[in-house]
Amino acid sequence: MGKLATITRRTFLLGAVAITGGVVFGYWKYKQPYGNPLQKDLDDGEAALTPYVLIDQDGITIIAPRAEMGQGIHTTLAALVAEELDVSLEQVKVIHGPASNAYFNAAGFEEAIPFAAIDESSMAERARNFTRIPAKFLGMQLTGGSSSTPDAFEKMRMAGAAARESLLQAAAQKLGVQATSLSTHAGKVLTASGDSFDYTELAEAAALIEPSAEPTLKSQANWKVLGKSQARVDVIPKSTGTAEFGVDVTLPGMLFATVRVNPNLLNPMNAYDASKAESMRGVEKIIEIENGVAVVATNSWYAFQAAKAIEFDWQPANYPKTTSELRQIVVDSFAAGADSKHRDDGDVDAALNGAEIISGEYEVPYLAHATMEPMNATAWMRDGMIEIWAGNQLPTQIVKEAERITGLPEDAITVHTPYMGGGFGRRAELDFAKQAIEIANAMPGTPVKMTWTREEDTCHDYYRPLALAKFKAVMGDTEPTAIDLELAAPSVASSQFGRLGVPAAGPDIFIVQAAWDQPYGVENYRVRGYKADTVFPVSSWRSVGASQNAFFHESMMDELAAAKSLDPLQMRLNLITHEPSRKVIEAVGELSNWGAELPAGHGRGIAFCLSFGVPTAQVIEVAEQDGKIKILNAYIAADVGTALDPRNVEAQLSGGMHYGLAAAMMGEITITDGKVDQTNFHNYNSIRMNQSPNVEVAILENGDRIRGVGEPGTPPAAPALANAIYAATGKRIRRLPLNKEVSFV
Amino acid sequence: MKLTVNGTNHEVDVDPNMPLLWVLRDELNIKGPKFGCGIAMCGACTVHLNGNPIRACSFPVSAATGEITTIEGVGTPNAMSAVQEAWVEHQVAQCGYCQSGQIMSATALLNNNPAPSDQDIDTAMSGNLCRCGTYPRIRAAIKTAAANIQASKATEIELGADAPEGV
């Protein structure tokens, strides 16, 4: 890391860069004819170069500039480079690397446009390409939106290929032969006569060679690493307690801190009395920070104890103070007129008029992210510089916050992104990093690690919004002939993007995400979104709007099938208009032996959701045992276009489903007197081993392009489970969490 | 105050009510055990005291008399235990934050019960939360570890060697 820290932002732009005895290779060609802000330091030409490969005498390091929060992205991104560089993953070291706008995520905003992910029309493509402009100008090094793999798929292979070609050139010059007479294997350049040179010994010479502007990529048929399940680069550290998470950062002379900020979220503190805390054992300093106080001590636990002993006068909430009042705002938004109407096929009003109408109302609660690792960050201010360690999904924004808080220039700020104990969207918020910076700013010279208690974490989240849905539909003999779906929620886009200083223009697509764009052909089909005033802080929660809308849409589909005693899987096949989606539904049917008789008291439910471009179908089988629901089996089929690492794709689909099941079964955040009621895992619990089903996964690759899979496993879980409970018990549950109406084993 | 961690004796000067976890992490720099909840609800801090799994976040250091074993004492990257090997074989970890605790609970289970049933695994492991949902692979890894431990014991008995203590 020390060596990398010496690479300045300017050198990122210059391609192959000589560093002490080594070389950094980067390659990324920007295809669109828009001005590239990254090129301002370059001569004419369209190539902007970013570093992904660092080679020196010590070995090969691949920079995987996305947050590793469990999704296996460091392994997959390293595999993209390794494939083209012709090295194995065992031969390389993989690091996140420094924060840089050069690592912006071009694909991170694609989900935010009013075109379906599977829409290949030229309009949709143009809109999609336009999202790359703000993505680039904002320069956000974002991990989220299941976008890391699609974003990197070409550019990181290019980086590997360009580096390999330069190494071949370097060897050719050294030997006085044509590069075409040389080959590579496992980190070596080989000559026709059988001599070999390690990449590491060629690095210095390769640094002087201009990297190829058009490196040739391997054809998929020749892949040796990609498409095959890899051992995760972090699996041994994470199985031996040696992986360094943010909370494990240790620095010389470091002190330990915690914070307490106003539980009336984002509201100020009026006053506090720390007279008791000040004299408690281990306490070194008490610092006023935004909306609260930090306690710095010689041990985290001393800080926790002292923080508990502080008395606060909090300013009351400036928003409605109870769940029911906050809910009423969402209810009222239906009357205020639609925010979006991205789907309006046929004539829904005419089709509903005078017909026999099936209707229902649905609801989901606020949810916390509840990562296993509580929010934490470490910062160290010294010699006119600040270094920050924070498990985070937006390092470039932390740089901006550090500039604002400390007044230091950008090049005096270093952000490290260690492993994170879960993210799920929570670590795209900046509050915890800002607090560590505030503390460091008040204690120059002393590194301080700030760790939240679980209570602080549960009560100071930015939550998945409470959301409501209403549907009216008309059934034909084999499928619905009209669907009118109305969805209301506070706006994640305005809440989250507002905090980032990014204007959220136009309708909020997340309110209707994965509802308006589903590949069902229904003659009269309308999906409208209603934007409720966003008064309570909400944010992206794994799969964002799809997390609630799949429950609404797919429970509705189940109700419609049941109304005519139709097979819900077959009814979906009757409606489906997208071939890869059809195959996913067929695959989950086969995997689950759909249609085979089940023992009495058992039930199967199916749900389908296309989110982040990934059609995903799940079948869940439950049994009623002594009046309790036991989740026995779960079957998942999904199409990711190209599965770069099948075993990891399976892990993400299964894990994503578990995350959705936990929320569906028992997840609920409520608010009383302005404050969140839940505090810890005893009253905000999660799925546990004894509740986890057997899982089988089928991965399909019929989709038109490569997709990311961190989120798509989550949305179908809730409706598949609710539909299974209906099949087993006849009880239709329209409000989450399900444990308000049934008990689980 | 004296305590023995992974076979090494330490002397610490802390509040006797301080939970063992914070002595390990912030005083002794032993960071495999993780802080998750502070109320023994998630299991991320699980360590062994005289071979028994305890939640170090809620266990006062003054009561931790005896042999304390953390994940670091179970195996190392170059010399992993059978349970850790199985964790790698099944590629269990996602974010990995809970896995130190999961491995400590699984190790204790297998020390006491070399061939656990699904029900035994549920009972022993349900105190350990995993928000990534790695439970199916944890279950598979425990079964693999159990089989490998049994097989290596059988081999050693055939060879007339002493079976190793624990896993």
Q: Tell me, letter by letter, the H, E, C secondary structure of A536-555.
A: CCECCCCCCCHHHHHHHHHH
Specify whether B8 is located in the same domain as B27. Answer: yes
3-state secondary structure of A220: helix
Please say whether the dihedral angle defined by the alpha carbons of residues B110, B112, B116 and B118, taken in this order, is positive or negative: negative
Q: What is the CATH number of the domain that holds B67?
A: 3.10.20.30
How far is Cα B100 from Cα B34, in angstroms, rounded to an integer?
7
Which residue, B34, B64, B37, B38, is CA-closest to B46? B34
Name the residue in chain A with its Cα closest to that of B73: A240
Q: Supply the range of the domain harboring residue B107.
A: 82-158
Q: What is the CA radius of gyration of chain B?
A: 16
Query: Do B48 and B112 belong together in one domain?
Result: no
> Of residues A418 and A13, which shows the higher confidence score?
A418
C-alpha A643/C-alpha A651 separation (Å) is 12
Among partner residues B18, B31, B133, which is closest to A655 by beta-carbon distance? B133
Nearest residue to B134 via CA among B102, B110, B106, B108: B102
Which residue among B74, B108, B138 closes a domain? B74
Answer with the residue of higher pLDDT: A27 or A555.
Answer: A555
Pairing of strands B2-5, B67-69: parallel
Residues B86 and B152 in one domain: yes
In one letter, which amino acid is A267? N
Q: How far is B160 from chain A (nearest CA, A)?
A: 31
Cross-strand bridge partners of residue A271: A313
From chain B residues 116-135, the ones with a CB under 8 A of any chain A CB are 121-123, 125-135
Tell me which long-range contacts B57-63 makes (C-beta under 8 A, separation of at least 24).
B57/B19, B57/B21, B58/B19, B59/B19, B59/B20, B59/B21, B60/B16, B60/B17, B60/B18, B60/B19, B60/B20, B61/B1, B61/B3, B61/B12, B61/B14, B61/B16, B61/B18, B61/B19, B61/B20, B61/B23, B62/B1, B62/B16, B62/B17
Q: Confirm if A653 and A616 have CB atoms less than 8 A apart.
A: yes
Which of A3 and B7 is assigned the larger pLDDT?
B7
Q: What is the pLDDT of residues B48-82, one digit of tens each?
A: 999 999 999 999 999 999 999 999 999 999 999 99
Q: Confidence band (pLDDT; 50, 70, 90) for A23? A: low
Choice between A95 and B45, residue whose per-residue pLDDT is larger: B45
pLDDT average, residue stretch B117-123: 97
Q: Which domains does chain A have, with CATH numbers?
A: 2-220 (3.30.365.10), 246-316+375-451 (3.30.365.10), 337-367+462-744 (3.30.365.10)
Encoded tokens for A210: 């201009």
What pLDDT, on the 0 to 100 scale, is given for residue B140?
98
Looking at residue A323, the DSSP 8-state letter turns out to be: H
Residues of B in contact with A686 (CB under 8 A): 129, 131
Q: Which residues on B lie below 8 Å from A238 (Cβ)?
A: 93, 96, 99
Label residue A38 by pLDDT band (50, 70, 90): very low
Give the end of a domain, one of B74, B94, B114: B74
More confident residue, A2 or A224: A224
The whole-number pLDDT of residue B29 equals 98
Q: Is B165 domain-assigned?
A: no
Q: For B117-133, what is the mean pLDDT? A: 98
> Phi and psi (nearest 5°) for A316?
-65, 165
CA atoms within 13 A on the CB side of A191: 14
- Two tokens, residue A301: 């636990």
Closest A-chain CA to B19: A301
Rama region for A674: left / alpha / beta (φ>0; ψ in -120 to 50; rest): left
Mean pLDDT of chain A: 91
Q: Do A373 and B31 touch (CB under 8 A)?
A: no
Closest residue in A to B76 (Cα) is: A240
Burial class (CB in 10 A: 0-12, 13-18, 19+), B119: exposed
Q: Are residues B98 and B64 in the same domain?
A: no
Convert A562-595 to b/e letters by CB count within 10 Å (16 or more is b): beeebebbbbbebbbebebbbbbbbbbbebbebe
- Written as six digits, the tokens of A732 are 């239709």
Look at residue A11 and tell me whether its pLDDT is greater than 70. Answer: no
Length of chain A: 745
Between vectors from CA A105 to CA A100 and to CA A110, what angle results, nearest 5°? 160
Residues B86 and B140 in one domain: yes
In a domain, B95, yes or no: yes
In a domain, B163, yes or no: no
Angle at A523 between CA A641 and CA A364, to 5 degrees: 65
**What is residue A2's predicted lDDT score, i.e. its pLDDT?**
37
Residue B107 lies inside a defined structural domain of this protein: yes
pLDDT score, position B161: 55
Q: What tens digit of pLDDT does each residue of A306-340 get?
A: 999 999 999 999 999 999 999 999 999 999 999 99
Q: Are residues B33 and B97 in the same domain?
A: no
Residues B141 and B90 in one domain: yes
User: Any idea which of A86-100, A176-190, A234-248 has the lowest mean pLDDT?
Assistant: A86-100
* Band of pLDDT at residue A15, cut at 50, 70 and 90: very low
- Asked whether residue A557 carries a pLDDT value surpassing 50, the answer given is yes
**Whether residue B133 sits in one domain with residue B102:** yes
For residues B38 and B91, state if they share a domain: no
In chain B, whose CA is at the least distance from the CA of A376?
A: B35
CB-CB contact of B158 with A719 (8 Å): no
Asked if residue B94 lies in contact with residue A71, where contact means CB atoms within 8 angstroms, the answer is yes
**Do the domain assignments include residue B164?**
no
Query: A373–B130: do the CB atoms touch at under 8 Å?
Result: no
| Residues B90 and B153 grouped into a single domain | yes
Does residue B34 sit at the A interface (CB-CB below 8 Å)? yes
Q: How far apart are CA A518 and CA B104, in angstroms?
A: 44
Domain boundary among B45, B74, B103: B74
Q: Does B66 touch chain A (CB under 8 A)?
A: no
Tell me, what's the pLDDT at A12? 38
CA separation, residue A128 to residues A111, A135, A513, A702 (Å): 9, 11, 16, 21
Give the model confidence (pLDDT) of A493-506 as tens digits: 889 888 888 777 78
Q: For the stretch B43-74, what's the b/e string if a residue is b when 16 or more beta carbons lie within 10 angstroms of its beta carbon?
A: bbbbbbbeeebbbbbebebeebeeebbbbbbb
Q: Cβ B131–A240 below 8 Å, yes or no? A: no
On the question of pLDDT at A189 being above 50, the answer is yes
CB-CB under 8 Å, B135 with A658:
yes
**Residue A137 confidence (pLDDT) above 90:** no
ipTM: 0.95
Q: What pLDDT, on the 0 to 100 scale, is given for residue B54?
A: 98
Which CATH number fits the domain that encloses residue B130?
Answer: 1.10.150.120
Q: What are phi and psi of A602, to 5 degrees?
A: -95, 160
* B23 and B69 inside one domain: yes
A580-610 confidence digits (pLDDT tens):
999 999 999 999 999 999 999 999 999 999 9
pLDDT tens sequence across A247-270: 999 999 999 999 999 999 999 999
* Domain presence at residue B167: no
Find out whether A412 and A380 touch, Cβ atoms under 8 Å.
Answer: no
B72 in contact with chain A, both atoms CB, cutoff 8 A: yes
Which class for A229: exposed (0-12), middle (13-18), buried (19 or more C-beta within 10 A)?
Answer: middle
Quick check: B71 contacting A, CB < 8 Å?
yes
Rounded distance, CA A720 to CA A569, Å? 11
pLDDT greater than 90 at residue A211: no
What integer pLDDT is reported at residue A291 of this predicted model?
A: 98
Q: Do the Cβ atoms of A471 and A360 come closer than 8 Å?
A: yes
Backbone torsion region of residue A593, taken as left when φ is above 0, otherwise alpha when ψ lies between -120 and 50, otherwise beta:
left
Query: Residue B79 CB: number of other CB atoms within 10 A?
Result: 8
Angstrom distances, CA of residue A92 to CA of A89, A200, A229, A532, A600: 6, 11, 17, 49, 54
Tell me the per-residue pLDDT of A407-429, one tens digit each, with 9 for 90 and over.
999 989 999 999 999 999 999 99
Number of structural domains chain B divides into: 2
Chain A residues with CB inside 8 Å of B87's CB?
235, 239
* Average pLDDT of the residues in A159-164: 89
Mutate to test the interface with B, among A69, A90, A232, A240 (most CBs of B within 10 A): A240
To the nearest whole Å, the CA of A663 is away from the closest chain B CA by 11
B23: number of Cβ within 10 Å: 25
Q: How many CB atoms lie within 10 A of CB A40?
A: 9
Whether A241 and B38 lie within 8 Å, measured CB to CB: no
pLDDT digits (tens, 9 = 90+) for A389-411: 999 999 999 999 999 999 999 98
Are B99 and B35 within one domain? no
Residue identified by tokens 């996602």 is B94
Residue A28 is predicted with a pLDDT of 37
Residue A210: pLDDT band (50, 70, 90) is confident
From the list A482, A458, A238, the residue with the least C-alpha distance to A369 is: A458
Placement of tokens 């944890």 in the chain: B138
Q: What is the mean pLDDT of residues B11-29?
A: 98
Q: What is the pLDDT of residues A50-93, one digit of tens each?
A: 368 888 777 888 889 899 999 999 999 999 999 999 999 999 99
Confidence of residue A41 (pLDDT cuts 50, 70, 90): very low
Nearest CA in chain A to B32: A241
Of B35, B39, B87, nearest to A682 by CB-CB distance is B39
Q: Are A556 and A485 in contact (CB under 8 A)?
A: yes
Query: In the predicted model, is pLDDT for residue A217 greater than 70?
Result: yes
Q: Quick one: tokens of A686?
A: 């999660």
Helix (H) or strand (E) holding A398: helix A395-406
Distance, in Å, from the CA atom of A322 to the CA atom of B115, rounded to the nearest integer, reads 51
Is it the case that residue A40 has pLDDT exceeding 50? no
pLDDT band at residue B162, thresholds of 50, 70 and 90?
low
**Whole-angstrom Cα Rg for chain A:** 27
State the helix-helix crossing angle for A546-563 and A646-666, rounded to 10 degrees. Answer: 80
